[in-house]
């Protein structure tokens, strides 16, 4: 089943309008609607007084038009009566200030009183809708995030540490609290890393970020336990925030869910094809399976200011891009633009006046197409031969110490991803702890925090013939965020056959030059430049791939390759320019035996899915003008049902979905 629909807030509009909305949704080809994630005060206007009749009615009207319903669990927006009766439940920010009422998700996720209210409202919802024939699933809360620094969280953190370390001696030793006389003699002395405390001990800060992430997993689980018991037929998901969001451990949060959903706002990513693609791939990688887009941009975004409007064809292009990267449900945000509230400029499919215009017509066209092709795309799966390893521990560690003010984990990660994306090579983005045996090439940018578990996973992979890429600042930290007592790259030294004997952190516009010494690479780029960070490498069995050309370390190794078992490890000790990554990637792909899907101009993204052994090729033109592609084989385009081969034109913002004839 392929789900296609919209986020709807019937509570914002008079009841008389609901049947028209439902009819227009059906005419757009929708079969699913998400409701109620912010409707707590409408369902429980007074403590203990529940009013479901309005929601029942909305669900009935939508159900009559063939919609299935996904319900929010309401906890994302607590009503004023709750928060003013229990001011302790307000979250405290990192600067120690308690937030006040007026937004949403103002609560402390560890507060026992808020937990009681959560259990009560979720139980009421679950009891009321557990057997409803139209309801198919639940979205827990909404876009989890934000750490809380309140006294309740402080105590919970201390208990969490007690469970993790067992004894204060162990904690003191792992964190190195001897530094600046921080040795703790009682669990209650351990502070939160409030910004008023200045730069915290990195061990404490990392553990607090992990604790916050775990707290969200636990809060989600509390809701899931109720739903699993009372609604065994329904699925449970949560709406994540793509690649850029790095406040939680998304691998852990995704684990218990039936599938991941996420909120895709292309115009907040400048409609950049690779940035949207990396977000989709990250979301697919969390559970290594299909996902939903629970909020897909459908109009200009905006709170105080109004964003640009999606160009004709873009909504359709973004939907097919999402599908090609693994989306099995697309739900637009939102049906109709609200006349009031903080988001009165966050546009939906319909404008404030409720009149269907250009964007509605485009959505309707997608709906018609999906009806025709959904049997072909349902059950299709993405398959990649290249994996990138994403670590939330590393993201947390770099939030605490970025090492160089110009270094960003996500930017650096994207350089590798973009090089692959530009060559039209599909990528899985997975945890460093996951099974890697399916991949021919694995790229682990700045694998900063290592453990025996992660390192032996990588060793196994390379021993058996895999090609592994690691980069500077890998193997630097142990799991307590202390620097390893080993030559760098620490536990990864054996795999990479090198020693990092010195490093140079380049400030402002500091640069060095790079020169490839491997013939295959030096024919592609002879000289290029590097910035931000330079590891000065002494090969210990590895071969030099590129060396620096300037400063006192001119001639020293910057990039190396090392044979290990049946495979090899490539170590990249610096950040190069676009030409560097382009050449490096082509060389790596050749080495690993990975073939790009198709060579195209930059504007055209090519992705692939597989269904019953048959390949589906998606050609997505992100430019406004026509683009030409050269097809090597004869295909049939699913959308037009026409045969295509040889030189083929894709119209601006156009899409081809090809199967081989």
343 binds, among ligand GLA, Zn ion, none (CB under 5 to 8 A by kind): ligand GLA
Closest CA to 344 of 352, 353, 355, 333: 352
Contacts of 381 (CB under 8 A, 6+ apart): 290, 326, 609, 610, 611
Task: Tell the smallest beta-carbon distance from residue 76 to Zn ion (Å).
Answer: 16
Closest CA to 137 of 219, 54, 214, 238: 238
Q: Which of residues 466-495 bind ligand GLA (CB under 6 A)?
A: none
Question: Of 104-112, 166-174, 343-351, 615-623, which part binds Zn ion (CB under 5 A)?
Answer: 104-112
Residue at shortest CB range from ligand GLA = 263
Q: Where are the alpha helices (DSSP H) in 382-492?
A: 392-400, 409-422, 452-463
Closer CB to ligand GLA, 252 or 268, in the complex? 268
605 binds, among ligand GLA, Zn ion, none (CB under 5 to 8 A by kind): none
CB 446 within 8 A of CB 476: no
Which residue in 37, 44, 143, 296 is the catalytic one? Answer: 143
Closest CA to 398 of 471, 298, 490, 322: 471
Task: Tell the smallest beta-carbon distance from residue 343 to ligand GLA (Å).
Answer: 6
Q: Say if residue 379 is preceded by a cis peptide, omega within 30 of 0.
A: no
| Burial class of residue 539, CB neighbours in 10 A (0-12, 13-18, 19+) | middle
Structure tokens that stand for 473 in this block: 């600042």
Interface with ligand GLA (CB under 6 A), residue from 143, 246, 369, 627 = 143
Task: Tell the smallest beta-carbon distance from residue 261 to ligand GLA (Å).
Answer: 10
Q: Where are the alpha helices (DSSP H) in 71-201?
A: 80-85, 112-129, 151-165, 168-175
394 binds, among Zn ion, ligand GLA, none (CB under 5 to 8 A by kind): none
CB 181 within 8 A of CB 119: no
Encoded one letter per residue, x for contact with ligand GLA by CB under 6 A and - for no contact, window 247-266 reads ----------------x---
Residue 142 lies near ligand GLA (rule: CB under 6 A): yes
Closest CA to 92 of 151, 158, 150, 155: 150
Closest CA to 496 of 451, 444, 562: 562
Q: Which of residues 105-134 bind Zn ion (CB under 5 A)?
A: 108, 110
Query: Tokens 């990588």 belong to which residue?
Result: 458
DSSP for residue 92: B
Q: Say if residue 489 is preceded by a cis peptide, omega within 30 of 0.
A: yes
CB 248 within 8 A of CB 144: yes
Strand 441-444 relative to strand 386-389, pairing: parallel
Closer CB to ligand GLA, 30 or 346, in the complex? 346
Q: Which of residues 323-362 bind ligand GLA (CB under 6 A)?
A: 333, 343, 346
Task: Tell the smallest beta-carbon distance from residue 294 to ligand GLA (Å).
Answer: 8
Structure tokens that stand for 522 in this block: 């030096």
- Separation between Cα atoms, residue 545 and residue 541, nearest integer Å: 13
Which residue in 44, 295, 314, 328 is the catalytic one? Answer: 295
Q: Which of residues 149-188 bind Zn ion (CB under 5 A)?
A: 150, 152-153
Residue 83 lies near Zn ion (rule: CB under 5 A): no
Q: Which of residues 292-321 bind ligand GLA (CB under 6 A)?
A: 295
DSSP for residue 100: -
Residue 295 bears catalytic tag: yes
Closer CB to Zn ion, 89 or 621, in the complex? 89
446 binds, among Zn ion, ligand GLA, none (CB under 5 to 8 A by kind): none
Encoded one letter per residue, x for contact with ligand GLA by CB under 6 A and - for no contact, window 579-608 reads ------------------------------
Q: CB neighbours (10 Å) of residue 361?
A: 12
- Separation between Cα atoms, residue 90 and residue 367, nearest integer Å: 42
Task: Tell the smallest beta-carbon distance from residue 104 to ligand GLA (Å).
Answer: 8
Three-state DSSP at 336 gives strand
Task: Tell the smallest beta-carbon distance from residue 153 to Zn ion (Å).
Answer: 3
469 binds, among ligand GLA, Zn ion, none (CB under 5 to 8 A by kind): none
362 binds, among ligand GLA, Zn ion, none (CB under 5 to 8 A by kind): none
494 binds, among Zn ion, ligand GLA, none (CB under 5 to 8 A by kind): none
Residue 106 lies near ligand GLA (rule: CB under 6 A): no
Question: Of 49-57, 103-111, 183-191, 414-422, which part binds Zn ion (CB under 5 A)?
Answer: 103-111
Binding site for Zn ion (CB under 5 A): 108, 110, 148, 150, 152-153
Q: Which residues are catalytic?
A: 143, 295
Binding site for ligand GLA (CB under 6 A): 142-143, 263, 295, 333, 343, 346
């Amino acid at each position: 089943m392929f789900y296609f629909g919209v986020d709807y807030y019937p509570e914002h509009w008079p009841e008389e309008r609901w049947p028209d909305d439902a009819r227009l949704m059906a005419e757009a080809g929708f079969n699913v609607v998400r409701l109620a994630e912010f409707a707590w005060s409408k369902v429980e206007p007074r403590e203990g007084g529940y009013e479901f009749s309005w929601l029942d009615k909305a669900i009935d009207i939508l159900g009559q038009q063939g919609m299935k319903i996904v319900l929010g669990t309401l906890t994302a927006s607590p009503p004023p009566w709750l928060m003013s009766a229990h001011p302790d439940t307000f979250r405290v920010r990192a600067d120690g200030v308690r937030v006040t009422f007026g937004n949403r998700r103002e609560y402390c996720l560890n507060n026992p009183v808020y937990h009681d209210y959560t259990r009560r409202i979720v139980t009421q919802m679950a009891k009321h809708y557990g057997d409803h024939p139209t309801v198919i699933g639940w979205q827990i809360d909404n876009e989890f995030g934000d750490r809380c620094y309140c006294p309740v969280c402080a105590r919970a953190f201390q208990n969490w540490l007690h469970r993790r370390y067992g004894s204060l001696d162990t904690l003191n030793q792992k964190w190195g609290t001897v530094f600046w006389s921080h040795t703790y003699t009682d669990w209650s002395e351990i502070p939160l890393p409030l910004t008023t405390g200045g730069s915290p001990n990195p061990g404490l800060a990392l553990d607090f970020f992990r604790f916050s992430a775990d707290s969200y997993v636990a809060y989600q689980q509390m809701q899931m336990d109720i739903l699993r018991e009372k609604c065994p037929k329904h699925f449970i998901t949560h709406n994540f925030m793509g690649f850029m969001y790095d406040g939680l451990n998304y691998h852990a949060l995704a684990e218990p869910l039936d599938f991941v959903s996420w909120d895709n706002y292309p115009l907040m990513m400048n409609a950049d094809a690779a940035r949207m693609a990396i977000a989709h791939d990250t979301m697919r990688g969390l559970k290594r399976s299909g996902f939903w887009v629970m909020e897909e941009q459908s109009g200009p975004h905006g709170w105080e200011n109004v964003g640009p409007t999606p160009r004709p064809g873009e909504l359709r292009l973004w939907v097919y891009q999402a599908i090609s990267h693994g989306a099995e449900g697309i739900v637009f945000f939102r049906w109709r633009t609200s006349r009031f509230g903080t988001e009165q400029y966050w546009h939906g499919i319909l404008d404030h006046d409720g009149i269907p215009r250009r964007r509605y017509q485009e959505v309707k066209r997608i709906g018609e197409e999906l009806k025709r092709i959904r049997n072909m795309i349902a059950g299709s799966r993405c398959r990649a031969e290249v994996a990138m390893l994403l670590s939330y521990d590393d993201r947390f560690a770099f939030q605490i110490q970025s090492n160089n003010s110009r270094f960003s984990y996500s930017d650096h990660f994207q350089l590798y991803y973009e090089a692959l994306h530009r060559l039209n090579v599909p990528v899985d983005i997975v945890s460093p702890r996951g099974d890697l045996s399916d991949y021919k090439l694995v790229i682990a940018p700045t694998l900063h925090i290592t453990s025996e578990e992660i390192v032996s996973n990588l060793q196994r992979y390379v021993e058996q013939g895999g090609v592994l890429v690691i980069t500077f600042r890998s193997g630097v930290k142990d799991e307590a965020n202390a620097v390893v007592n080993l030559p760098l790259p620490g536990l990864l030294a054996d795999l990479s056959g090198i020693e990092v004997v010195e490093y140079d952190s380049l400030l402002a516009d500091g640069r060095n030059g790079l020169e490839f010494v491997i013939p295959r690479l030096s024919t592609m780029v002879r000289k290029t430049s590097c910035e931000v960070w330079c590891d000065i490498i002494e090969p210990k069995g590895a071969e030099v791939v590129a060396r620096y050309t300037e400063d006192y370390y001119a001639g020293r190794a910057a990039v190396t390759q090392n044979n290990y078992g049946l495979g090899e490890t490539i170590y990249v000790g610096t950040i190069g320019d676009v030409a560097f990554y382009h050449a490096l990637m082509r060389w790596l792909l050749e080495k690993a035996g990975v073939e790009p899907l198709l060579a195209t101009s930059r504007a055209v993204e090519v992705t692939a899915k597989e269904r019953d052994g048959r390949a589906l090729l998606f050609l997505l033109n992100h430019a406004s003008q026509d683009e030409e592609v050269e097809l090597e084989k004869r295909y049939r385009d699913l959308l037009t049902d026409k045969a295509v081969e040889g030189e083929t034109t894709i119209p601006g913002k156009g899409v081809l979905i090809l199967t081989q004839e």
